[in-house]
Structure 1
Amino acid sequence: MLWVELITGTFLSTVLIYCFLSTGKLTQLKLPATSFKYSSSFAYYFYLVFRLLTLALYIKILVFVAIETGIELFSFYTLWNFILQAIYFLWAIIYQIRTARSRYEPVVTTKETHYLNILFDVCFSNSIIIAIVYWKFIYEPSLYVAWYGYFEHAGNTIVLIIDFISNQFVISNRSWFFTIFFAAIYSVFVWISYFTWLDKVWPYTFLSMDTPYAPLWYVGIFAGHIISFGLAKLFSIIKERCLPTLCPIPIVIPQAINPTSYV
């Protein structure tokens, strides 16, 4: 249906343009002055080991999936996000090692800290919507699910919650459009793949252009990402209220005092 493709394509283009412009504006914003510190050396090393083991599990699962599905793994949104989460844990490990002194003294956050925070926001938020969509709309009791399938569609969300408890991050209001940005990039990739190497087979039925309701499906997908981000933000609010010591610490910058002139 040509008109369906035109409407959906226009919608995706609008989302992409908005996200590109928003990303440009974000780089011009002044970052908040904050610092962070682990509660103890034990907490620091616990989360370092936790992240190392988690990354090892991610790599193992990705190898299993690659062997089973081959290049088709790149057609699944679940795997896109799973790879993104693996990148987060790798980056988080490197960053944690570089800021090892945070186990005994406050460390001032940098641009890298905020970029890593944004990456976590996207990973955590998207893991929520993937779990909801899979178990609500895709999973069937008769469907065989390998052991790693449970981790890809639920276990990873639990792991990210555990990481969130003590990763010194809070969900930033600025991160919401990155979740739909990522989804838009995937949608464009799938469109291109559909007409090339996927041999006109959609990886998910709700992405199909063969129904007049396709534009509504796409709007619903992006709306779902925003709602999912709201749920992640709710987790963040709970963390800020219940575990304030595990959140970034604002740095108070003293105001310059103008000396009194007697001239």
Structure 2
Amino acid sequence: MLWVQVVIGAILALALLASVRSMHHLRHRPHRIMSFKYPTPWAYYVHLGFRVAVVGLYIAVLVVETWHLGTKTIAYYTVWNFLLQGIYYLWAIKYQLSTYGSRNGPTTISRKGAALNGLFDICFANSLLVILVYWGLLYNPNMRWYSYIQHGGNTLLFLIEFALNGFLTQRTSVVFIALFPAMYAIFIWISNATWLNGWWPYRFLTMSSPVAPLWYIAVFVGHFVMYGATYGISLLKAKLLPTCCPVLEKNALPIVATAQGLTIV
């Protein structure tokens, strides 16, 4: 149905345009100066060890899954999110090592730290949506062991990560929520017409039904709803685990990015 393809294409174009425009405006917003420290030195090392172990698990899962599914592995949105989560953990390890002083005292959270926080927000929200969609619509009782890790185990690990890291869900992260699913949808459209030879990894992606645009809209809405859920979990963390939350530095002037570099405002 040509009109269905046109409508869905318009939805994806609007999602991308809105995301890029919002990201442009966000770049010029002042960066609040926050700091974070681990409650004790051993908490720092436990957290680092946890992250390294998770990276090892993720690599093992991806290797085994690719062995079973071959190139089709990359066609699944679950795998896209799993890869994004792996990137988060690798970046988090690098950032944690670069802020080694946080084990003993407050360390200022840089713009890179804020960006890492934003990536965590996206990964966390997406993992919640994957659980909802998979167990509610796509569950297969014959799934392999690694699917349990990708459709639930990873979210439990993210809850542990959230309890240990110095992050809270940022309101500004909402501007990135639609970007990742839009990129995946465009990728899978192209893949369906080329190397996948008309095969869709998820039945609700097909454009042969007049209700197909509603499925795409529902997926985008679901991402925002799950972002709201992570924000609620973040509020709960701030209440129950205040020592694991960032603190606004007193007397610190906000910084904004300009064409000439960083400027104190």
- TM-score w.r.t. structure 1 length? 0.94
* Cα-Cα RMSD: 1.0
> Match of 2:35, SS?
strand
| Larger deviation, residues 202-211 vs 173-182 | 173-182
Partner deviation per Cα, 1:22-66 (whole Å, 9 max, x = no partner): 111111111111100000111000010000000000000010111
Which residue pairs with 1:52 in the alignment? Answer: 52
Partner deviation per Cα, 1:192-232 (whole Å, 9 max, x = no partner): 11111110111100000000000000000000001111111
Which residue pairs with 1:178 in the alignment? Answer: 176
1:244 deviates by: 1.5
Q: Distance in 2 between matches of 1:254 and 1:82?
A: 37
Q: Distance in 2 between matches of 1:178 and 1:190?
A: 19
Which residue pairs with 2:25 in the alignment? Answer: 25
Which residue pairs with 1:233 in the alignment? Answer: 231
Q: Which runs of 4+ in 1 moved over 2 A?
A: none
Which residue pairs with 2:38 in the alignment? Answer: 38
Q: Distance in 2 between matches of 1:165 and 1:126?
A: 18
Gaps of 5+ in 1: 256-263
Q: Structure 2 counterpart of 1:2, which letter?
A: L
> Match of 2:177, SS?
helix
The question of 1:242 aligning with 2:240 is answered yes
Which residue pairs with 1:261 in the alignment? Answer: none
Which residue pairs with 2:95 in the alignment? Answer: 95
> Match of 2:187, SS?
helix
Which residue pairs with 2:209 in the alignment? Answer: 211
1:254 deviates by: 6.7
Find 1:224's aligned residue among 222, 225, 243.
Answer: 222
Residue correspondence of structure 1 range 103-142 to structure 2 within 5 A: 103-140=103-140
Which residue pairs with 1:258 in the alignment? Answer: none
Q: Which has more radius of gyration?
A: 1
Higher relative contact order (CA 8 A, sep 6+): 2
Q: In percent, how many aligned pairs have the same letter? A: 41
Q: Distance in 2 between matches of 1:144 and 1:177?
A: 37
Q: Distance in 2 between matches of 1:24 and 1:175?
A: 13
Gaps of 5+ in 2: 254-265
Which residue pairs with 2:144 in the alignment? Answer: 146
- TM-score w.r.t. structure 2 length? 0.94
Contact 2:85 2:123 in 1 (8 A): yes
Q: Distance in 2 between matches of 1:239 and 1:253?
A: 25
Partner deviation per Cα, 1:88-128 (whole Å, 9 max, x = no partner): 00010111111111000110011100110000001111000
Contact 2:33 2:252 in 1 (8 A): no
